[in-house]
Amino acid sequence: MKRARIVGTGMAVPECVVDNHLLSRCMNTSDEWIVQRTGIRERRVSPDTYRMLLRLAEAPDKVAFMDEVFAQGLDGKIDSTLTVSDLAFEASTMALKNAGVEPRQLDCIIDSSTVPDFAYPHTGCVLQGKFGLTSTPAICLQQGCAGFIFGLAVADQFIRGGIYERVLVVGAELLSSIFDYTDRGRDMAVLFADGAGAVVLQAVDSGESGLISHHLHTDGTILDGLSGEVWGTSTYPAISKKKIEEGRGRPRMNGRAVFVQAVRRFREVIGKCLGANRLTVADVDCFIFHQANIRIIEAVTDALKIPPEKTFNNVERYGNTAAASVPMALHEAVLAGRIKDGDLVLLAAFGTGFSWGASLLRW
């Protein structure tokens, strides 16, 4: 039987850096509040969001300015200069180059993006087209922050089953395009940001390093925890002026409920992953968590007695990039020499749905 191995990683972030001080000029928040509760000091956002924030910081009536942007775009323009598939393409190009694989050698592309370029077709299609491919299947998992782990698990089954040899798995997000950066949206706007991460999986013989096991879960009974109705059949019609005016187009989050659920589910799924493989924390060389929030990560590592030197975190520099966060952290951990050949690595993520999962691999 074949096994899937990660043979190349890549990532991409926009050049524009937004620190907590710029956000404090847009909404009633502070560097201290954000750092204490989340560990985030800065994040990357699209050039459009960056220009908007600079203008919002100077606006005398911030709510009126933000409403004008939601209604008319910035300076009356609503076309984006950077889309989520642009970031996905950049990260994927890097992963393919590092793997020494040409786009035409790919048998399948699996993307997860919470907010796509278009409602349909999905971002995987747009990304595939950017590579000039005309028949490679592109699959999209709209799986929120757990999207990359779910994507890895699906790709692994195709490779183990002998159906495909090379699969590109991508997590890409341009979340700064959906938030309200005034006091109304400050609970979420300070957390999330833009970025993309990608890996190339290749079939290898089963005795070699590679993906070992995946443990996936969803609880769809707590939808209010973290959701967005931007375009959806929860309303009729699926999109309307009224929906937007009532703020139902914007994301919603119950921060405390998410915190409690995230800590509980991370603990459970890591325990399950270790148990299924008859391992303990001591056997794992590196834990890569979804970079939601340093307090969530610390609550989990404290409870499971995972020493800090066994984790790699970059939430301080990028914020929560949802589906992109695990492949971005994995890429940087490899570059930093924190993951070496033969290391046992555990990836874990939790997000909207709620959906959560863990993957174990030998590097």
In the complex, which residues of this chain contact ligand COA (CB under 6 A)? 29, 33, 37-38, 145, 186-187, 190-191, 253, 255-256, 258-259, 262, 292-293, 296, 320, 350-351
CB of 277 to ligand COA, least distance (A): 25
Q: Is 21 a catalytic residue?
A: no
Asked if residues 224 and 254 have their Cβ atoms less than 8 Å apart, the reply is yes
Closest CB 234 distance from ligand COA, rounded Å: 21
Q: Nearest distance from residue 363's CB to ligand COA, in Å? A: 25
Nearest to ligand COA of 128, 352 (CB atom): 352
290 flagged as catalytic = yes
Answer for the pair 177, 322: CB distance below 8 angstroms, yes or no.
Answer: no
Pick the catalytic residue: 125, 140, 145, 273? 145
Q: How far apart are CA 316 and CA 17, in angstroms?
A: 12
How far from 13 is each of 16, 38, 43, 200, 277, CA to CA, in Å?
9, 20, 9, 19, 35
Please state the length of the chain. Answer: 363
CA distance 39 to 233: 36
As a three-state string, the secondary structure of 88-136 is HHHHHHHHHHHHCCCHHHCCEEEEECCCCCCCCCCHHHHHHHHCCCCCC
* Nearest to ligand COA of 136, 325 (CB atom): 325
DSSP string, 54-82: HHHHH-SSHHHHHHHHHHH-BTTB---SS
Terminal CA-to-CA distance of the chain, rounded, Å? Answer: 18
Pair of tokens at residue 108: 């399948």
- For residue 216, the SS3 value is strand
- Counts of helices then strands in the chain (DSSP H, E): 13, 13
- Determine which one of 122, 214, 215, 290 is catalytic: 290
Catalytic residue among 108, 314, 320, 331: 320
Shortest separation between residue 250's beta carbon and ligand COA, angstroms: 15
Please say which residue, 123 or 291, places its beta carbon nearer to ligand COA: 291
Place of tokens 């796509």: 116
Min separation Cβ 193 and ligand COA, Å: 12
Q: Which of 233, 253, 215 is nearest to 351 (CA)?
A: 253
| Cβ 109 vs Cβ 164: under 8 Å | no
Task: For the CB of residue 350, give the shortest distance to ligand COA in the complex, in Å.
Answer: 6
Token output for 112 = 């997860």
Structure tokens at 111: 């993307």
Cβ atoms of 200 and 8 closer than 8 Å: yes
Question: β-strand 194-205 against 2-12: which pairing, if any?
Answer: antiparallel
In the bound state with ligand COA, the residue whose beta carbon lies nearer, of 28 and 81, is 28
- State the DSSP H helix or E strand holding residue 147, giving kind and residue range, or none if neither: helix 147-160
Give the nearer residue to ligand COA in terms of CB position, either 125 or 174. Answer: 174
Q: Which is nearer to ligand COA, 14 or 225 (CB)?
A: 225
Report which residue's Cβ sits closest to ligand COA: 255
Q: How far is the CB of 191 from ligand COA (least distance, A)?
A: 6
Would you call 16 a catalytic residue per the annotation?
Answer: no
Measured from the CB atom, is 292 or 300 closer to ligand COA?
Answer: 292
- For residues 115 and 321, is the Cβ–Cβ distance under 8 A? no
Residues with catalytic function: 145, 290, 320
